[in-house]
Structure 1
């Protein structure tokens, strides 16, 4: 029985040859994503802008799509529904205008309650809370801080684990992935809530996993081939890890595509963010961070001075340019 091979053996793709084109495309896309985020802004969810939370308990698990269309048809804003443990208990989150008094909030609660009781007889409302703008602002700060600390921590680890060039290239690649994700949500205006923050942190982890596999192979080859040209060495390392990179990206991507298509409204934003993150994370690991090591001056000869064993000569592999 022959094993499935998405990448043929002895693949020798010249990734480094097109590094300047990739750098230009990456810079343009990053600027476009920053521009979209700055001009259009993010469609922040109730978690970040404050709002109303109503907890409803049904005699049996309600169809969320029907429930969502019922609430959205009331003109009280876009609803966010979530089930916790018991599928009969649903948390309803609605935006509330800044400065709205208690009377306006009670009116929204009454409207939603009446509509749901008409559509779903037997429903009970067990809790009603208002999330203030102050709490939402704290969530924004904590979310940003979590992403920043994750990126810096991983970059510092790469610096200490390998060489400073690896740390810088890792930082650039991860920042690129995060900015591209923010730009995607700015362009599509999909709701940006705490689930998306979790997706961004997961994207950072996925990207660094890809990056570390390639970096570790680069470091190993630098010890083995002290006299090899750096461009050839990076091409060799990326090609050696390409089967693993492609297989991982495809399998994760298929799982995320299933979530996106069949996971419902609640998981749509998370799945879309993760699917985009797999694509841009794989791209940045192969085409950006690895090739950036050349521009940062990393050389096998310098790295190999600390190696215990090394080959004095190695065959030139890969493109000359």
Structure 2
């Protein structure tokens, strides 16, 4: 059996606490001041998708829209270089059809309108509220699940790490002014699941080693458990990041926000599952006695 040297991860938990605190404060400040740059999914507006027979000249499309008075229109390739998507915030249901008419007149027979959609502001507000509620319910469900499977101290540590990861990703998008749409929201929910999976793997090993290593303190047990799962954590994170980087560069504009949110979330989630959640177990004074199931007193019903 190969003898693996134990890495003293918890020696650096206090510097990482400071880093986590700075990240949290900075993210919350950005969310309070700049807020999120919500996409059309949440704000409402017009969306037009066009198909060109040859690679589209995006600058020419933008010039056409500026000439029509739509200076704030977002023009991007959508997958292939011949597919173009136009987004514009508005409360006019007919705006998409008008934009499609103007652009097709300019482009001639080489342009085909694939779809014209309008998302009303009310629908956008409902999507935003339901998305936020879904995220809160997911975190609440995780708190209950970890509390039942492990113990309340494990649940508090896991949820604190998850909140740290979510707030960091939201703050990252807020600080850079990146568009936050439904695909990014889906990525944030995926980050919650990914980070929880990493944390659960380490917690499982911590619980197992607490029962086996009876002469070791909790900090040493956590260091041993984290070292034993480190190879699995790095292999999973690196292989996932390789896929996401490929998706970011080659997946087209529609997948870029989704991939970027996951890249950031997995990066921050890897260190939070090692230092934030594990470190909190020490601060919460986890003991072996916490893992002993509560014995219910038997009631004698005999007369």
Common fold, TM-score beyond 0.5?
yes
Q: Equivalent residue of 2:47, what SS?
A: strand
Shift in Å at residue 123 of structure 1? 3.3
Distance 2:34 2:52 in 1: 42
Partner of 1:146 in structure 2?
A: 134
CA 1:35–1:230: 2 relative to 1, 3 Å: same
Shift in Å at residue 260 of structure 1? 1.6
How big is each residue's C-alpha offset from its partner over 1:143-195, in whole Å with a ceiling of 9 and x where there is no partner? 10111111111121111000101100111000010000001101111111000
1:33 to 27, 38, 62: 27
**Contact 1:71–1:112 (8 Å) recurs in 2:** no
2:227 to 239, 255, 267: 239
Partner of 1:96 in structure 2?
A: 89
Partner of 2:218 in structure 1?
A: 230
Q: Equivalent residue of 1:233, what SS?
A: helix
**Contact 1:42–1:192 (8 Å) recurs in 2:** yes
1:12 to 3, 6, 18: 6
Shift in Å at residue 79 of structure 1? 3.9
Shift in Å at residue 126 of structure 1? 6.0
How big is each residue's C-alpha offset from its partner over 1:175-219, in whole Å with a ceiling of 9 and x where there is no partner? 010000001101111111000001001111110110110000001
CA 1:51–1:70: 2 relative to 1, 3 Å: farther
**Contact 2:179–2:257 (8 Å) recurs in 1:** yes
Shift in Å at residue 242 of structure 1? 0.4
Partner of 1:167 in structure 2?
A: 155
How big is each residue's C-alpha offset from its partner over 1:104-128, in whole Å with a ceiling of 9 and x where there is no partner? x44x643443324543624343653
Partner of 1:3 in structure 2?
A: none
Distance 2:249 2:8 in 1: 35
**Structure 1 stretch 145-154 or stretch 277-286: which is displaced more?**
145-154
Distance 1:19 1:114 in 2: 59
Partner of 1:310 in structure 2?
A: none
1:23 to 17, 27, 31: 17
RMSD over aligned Cα atoms: 2.6
Partner of 1:313 in structure 2?
A: none
Q: Unaligned regions of 5+ residues in structure 2, if any? A: 295-303
The count of residues paired between Structure 1 and Structure 2 equals: 287
2:74 to 78, 89, 94: 78
CA 1:210–1:120: 2 relative to 1, 3 Å: farther
1:156 to 141, 144, 154: 144
**Pair 1:46-2:40 in alignment:** yes
**Contact 1:53–1:91 (8 Å) recurs in 2:** no
**Contact 2:34–2:174 (8 Å) recurs in 1:** yes
Distance 1:40 1:304 in 2: 44
CA 1:15–1:82: 2 relative to 1, 3 Å: same
CA 1:169–1:80: 2 relative to 1, 3 Å: farther
**Structure 1 stretch 253-262 or stretch 110-119: which is displaced more?**
110-119
Distance 2:34 2:3 in 1: 46
Using the size of structure 2 for normalisation, the TM-score is 0.85
CA 1:46–1:175: 2 relative to 1, 3 Å: same
Any residues of structure 2 matched to 1:197-212 within 5 Å, and which? 197-212=185-200
Q: Unaligned regions of 5+ residues in structure 1, if any? A: 1-7, 308-321
1:259 to 247, 252, 255: 247
Partner of 1:316 in structure 2?
A: none
Distance 1:236 1:28 in 2: 28
Distance 1:260 1:55 in 2: 21
Partner of 1:315 in structure 2?
A: none
Using the size of structure 1 for normalisation, the TM-score is 0.81
Partner of 1:5 in structure 2?
A: none
